[in-house]
Amino acid sequence: MSKQNILVINSGSSSIKFAVINPQNEHEYVSGLAERLSQPEARIIWKQDGEKTIYDMPSADHDIVFQKILHLLEEQQLTDTLAAIGHRVVHGGELFKSSILINDDVVQAIEDCIGLAPLHNPAHLLGIRITQKYFPNLPQAAVFDTSFHQTMPPKAYLYAIPHALYRDHHVRRYGAHGTSYRFVTGDACQRLNIPVNESNILCAHLGNGCSAAAIYHGQSVDTTMGLTPLEGLVMGTRCGNIDANIFNFLHKQLGYDIDRITTLLNKESGLLGLSELSNDCRTLEEAMEQGHEQATLAIDVFSYVLAKSLSGLASALDRIDALIFTGGIGENSRVIRAKVLQQLRIFGFQLDADANANNGKNNNGIITTADSPVAMIINTNEELMIARDAAQLAGC
Ligand code: ADP
C-alpha cells in the first residue's frame, strides 16, 4: 500500500480520538477512542470493519496509550501507509487563519493561546509532542476549530466593551466548530450544485456543544459562539446567551463566587438545567413523548433560541441558499428540526414531513418541500476534513 493515509488525532485532557483515513477515496481504515486516561478505568475502544474491540489499560496515560495505538496500527500494517498526521486544535486565537504544518513556532503559538482554551490546548500540545516523538519523520498539521471564523468582520467579532480589552487582551468573538462548517458547506454546495464562492449558507452545528454560523461565499461572516464556548445557543449543559449581570445578581443575592457561577452556567444549565432531567436530547425527546413538562420546555427553549439566532445571522447574508443542520442533534432530531423550521416560517420554510422523518435520506439531505427555501441535513465529518487539510499541506 502506498503512503497516502492520514492519522487524525484529537487529543483531549482525558481522551484521545484517532482515525486512519485515506483522504482521496475517503476510506476510514480504523477509528477509535482512548478514554478515561490516567484513571483505573482507562481503555481503548478500537473500531475496524464494523467491529469494536476494547482494550482495558488501567491507569494508562497519554504516552502509554499512544504506544499501544501505534502497536495496533503496526499489527494492521497501517504505520507504513501514513503520509502525515493531522491534529485537531480547538483554539488558534487570531494567530491562525487556516490550517498549518507544525513546527516549533506553531507549537509556541498554540501554547500562547492556552489562556483562551485552558482545558483543550495543553492536551493538544501533549498529543503533538507524543506523535512527534514516535513519528519524527512525518509531516504534522494543526487544524484549528477557530481559524474558519477569522474572516468575520470587526462588526461581528467585537463586543461593545472598552476597546482596550480587545486591543491589549484579545477579548473578542472567536467562534467554534469551524472544521465542521467547512466540511458541511462544501458538501451541501456540491449536492445543490452551487459554487461555494457564490453561496449564502446558514448552518447549525448541534452536538453537545452547539453553534450556528452565517457563511457567505464559503467564508464565515458571523457565528454565535464567543470568546469561550458558553455564548450563543442553548446547549447540553451550557446556558448560551445570558445577561452578564447574572454574575453580580447571583453573588449579591445568593453569595455564589465566580467559580460557582461559572460551573453553574457551563455544567448545570442548558437542556439539563431547564429539564432537571438530562443533557441528552434523545432522553428528553422520549420524556417529552411521555408528557414530561420540563423536558418539553427545554426542547422548546432550545428550538426557539436556535431559530431566533438563525434569523439574526441571516442579516449577514444576501439570501438563504440553504439552512444546514448537522451534529448529533441536527442530524437526528426530527422534533427539533420541525420546531425550528416552524419558528422560521417568516422566511417561507415549509417542512417536508416525510423527508424530515427519514432524516433527509433518499432526498439528498433536503427536508423541505420543492417550493420552500432549502433546509437540509449534512452529516459532518471533521476527521475527513482534518485528513484533507493535512494531506494538502503535506503535499500528498
Ligand atoms: P459531540 O458534540 O460530543 O460530538 P454529538 O454531535 O455526538 O456530540 O451530539 C450529541 C447529541 O446528539 C446528544 O444530545 C444526543 O442526544 C443527540 N442525538 C444523537 N442521536 C439522536 C437522536 N436519534 N435523536 C435526538 N438526538 C440525538
Report the pocket of ligand 1 as residue ranges, CB < 6 Å.
207-209, 236, 280-282, 285, 327-329, 332-333
Active site residue 259: no
Can you read off the three cell numbers belonging to residue 130? Answer: 507524543
Question: How does DSSP assign 300-350, residue by residue?
Answer: HHHHHHHHHHHHHHHTTSSS-SEEEEEHHHHHH-HHHHHHHHHHTGGGT--
Ligand 1 centroid to residue 249 C-alpha, Å? 33
Q: What burial class does residue 6 get, using C-beta atoms within 10 Å of its C-beta: 0-12 exposed, 13-18 middle, 19+ buried?
A: buried
Residue to mutate, 329, 335, 358, ligand 1, most ligand atoms under 8 Å from C-beta: 329
Tens of pLDDT, residues 169-209: 999 999 999 999 999 999 999 999 999 999 999 999 999 99
Ligand 1 centroid to residue 248 C-alpha, Å? 34
Q: Which atom of ligand 1 is nearest to the CA of 208?
A: 2
Continuous H helices in 56-141: 62-75, 104-112, 120-134
How does the average pLDDT of the chain come out, rounded? 96
Length of the chain: 396
CA neighbor of 78 nearest in space, from 127, 141, 29, 34: 29
Exactly one of 145, 187, 352, 389 is catalytic; which is it?
145
Can you read off the three cell numbers belonging to residue 160? Answer: 461593545
Q: In this structure, how many other beta carbons lie within 10 angstroms of the beta carbon of residue 78?
A: 18
Residue to mutate, 31, 33, 208, 325, ligand 1, most ligand atoms under 8 Å from C-beta: 208
Tens of pLDDT, residues 319-353: 999 999 999 999 999 999 999 999 999 999 999 99
Ligand 1 centroid to residue 288 C-alpha, Å? 16
Is the pLDDT reported for residue 369 higher than 80? Answer: yes
Tens of pLDDT, residues 200-238: 999 999 999 999 999 999 999 999 999 999 999 999 999
Can you read off the three cell numbers belonging to residue 90? Answer: 480547538
The residue contributing the CA closest to ligand 1 atom 23 is 332
Question: How does DSSP assign 36-64, residue by residue?
Answer: STTSTT-EEEEEETTEEEEEE-TT--HHH
Name the percent of the chain lying above pLDDT 90.
Answer: 97
What is the structure's pLDDT at 3? 87
What is the Cα–Cα distance from 63 to 117, expressed in whole angstroms?
Answer: 22
Is the pLDDT reported for residue 285 higher than 80? Answer: yes
Tens of pLDDT, residues 73-111: 999 999 999 999 999 999 999 999 999 999 999 999 999
Instruction: Give, as one character, the DSSP assignment of residue 148.
Output: G
Contact 72, 19 (CB under 8 A): no
Sheet of strand 51-56, all strands in order from the earlier edge strand to the far edge: 51-56, 43-48, 28-35, 16-21, 5-11, 82-89, 140-144, 100-101
Mean of the pLDDT values across residues 53-80? 95
Ligand 1 centroid to residue 157 C-alpha, Å? 28
Residue to mutate, 237, 272, 279, 282, ligand 1, most ligand atoms under 8 Å from C-beta: 282
Four-point Cα dihedral 239, 242, 247, 250, nearest 10: -70
Residue of 389 and 208 predicted with greater confidence: 389
Ligand 1 centroid to residue 83 C-alpha, Å? 32
Q: Which atom of ligand 1 is nearest to the CA of 336?
A: 25
3-state SS assignment for residue 123: helix
H or E, element range at 272:
helix 270-275
Q: In this structure, how many other beta carbons lie within 10 angstroms of the beta carbon of residue 252?
A: 9
Sheet of strand 210-216, all strands in order from the earlier edge strand to the far edge: 219-223, 210-216, 200-206, 322-326, 375-377
Name the percent of the chain lying above pLDDT 70.
Answer: 100
3-state SS assignment for residue 84: strand
Q: For 10-20, b where at least 16 C-beta lie within 10 A, e where not — what string?
A: bbbeebbbbbb
Ligand 1 centroid to residue 286 C-alpha, Å? 14
What is the structure's pLDDT at 9? 97
What is the structure's pLDDT at 1? 60
Q: Which atom of ligand 1 is nearest to the CA of 271?
A: 14
